[in-house]
Amino acid sequence: MGGYVPAGRKEYVWESDNPYYEKKKYPEPTVCEECGAVFKNGRWQWPEQLKEPLSKEVNKALCPACRRKRDKYPSGFVYLSGKFFEEHKEEILNRIKNVVDEVMSLRPLQRILWIEEKEDGTTEIATTSEHLARHIGEAVNKAFKGEFEVKYNEGEKLARVFWHRD
């Protein structure tokens, strides 16, 4: 436990390299019919990030983040547990929301898919990317201490992040 990072793994890049989702190319501009994100200049951006206004003719599709939401196909999980967590749940979840809002304002594909409370009191947060899961875990651990562990499943491109404090 503690600051465990698996040995031998290359430094992490921000966007997931899962070819099925995040690296797919779309005709430009493509607008996500669910969330309004725009694929332009080779990446997904929010309309307010665009340098110039959109043309009237746009291609429509579902962005990778909305596809993951529809398919219930996260690439990261964060598990929060322990007595301290129970007692400070609202504060910790607010902190996470702020961290994610900040990331998402620049990177539209970095999102939380769901937050779910398990029967044993653990809260599960599903994310669109391994990186975001780790980023959340690190932010919580930095702010609140505790025990922090990241487990990767390379084959499935999945990260499970555990944070615990009693």
Residues recorded for the chain: 166
CB 158 within 8 A of CB 129: no
For Zn ion, which is the closer residue by CB, 37 or 133? 37
Which of 38/150 has CB closer to Zn ion? 38
10 or 72: CB nearest Zn ion: 72
Integer CA distances (angstroms), 7 to 14, 31, 151, in order: 19, 40, 11
Positions in the binding site for Zn ion (CB under 5 A): 32, 34-35, 37, 63, 66
Please say which residue, 27 or 155, places its beta carbon nearer to Zn ion.
27
Q: Are 161 and 78 in contact (CB under 8 A)?
A: yes
Cβ closest to Zn ion, residue 30 vs residue 141: 30
Residue 56 beta carbon to Zn ion: minimum distance, rounded to whole angstroms: 20
Cis peptide before 47 (omega within 30 of 0): no
Q: Answer for the pair 101, 145: CB distance below 8 angstroms, yes or no.
A: no
Query: Considering the complex, what minimum distance in angstroms separates the CB of residue 47 from Zn ion?
Result: 12
Tokens of 5: 């990072």
Q: Smallest distance from the beta carbon of 135 to Zn ion, in angstroms?
A: 20
Residue type, 155: G
Percent of the chain as helix, strand, coil, to the nearest 5: 30, 25, 45
Q: Minimum distance between the CB of residue 37 and Zn ion, rounded to whole angstroms?
A: 5
Min dist CB 61 to Zn ion, Å, is: 9
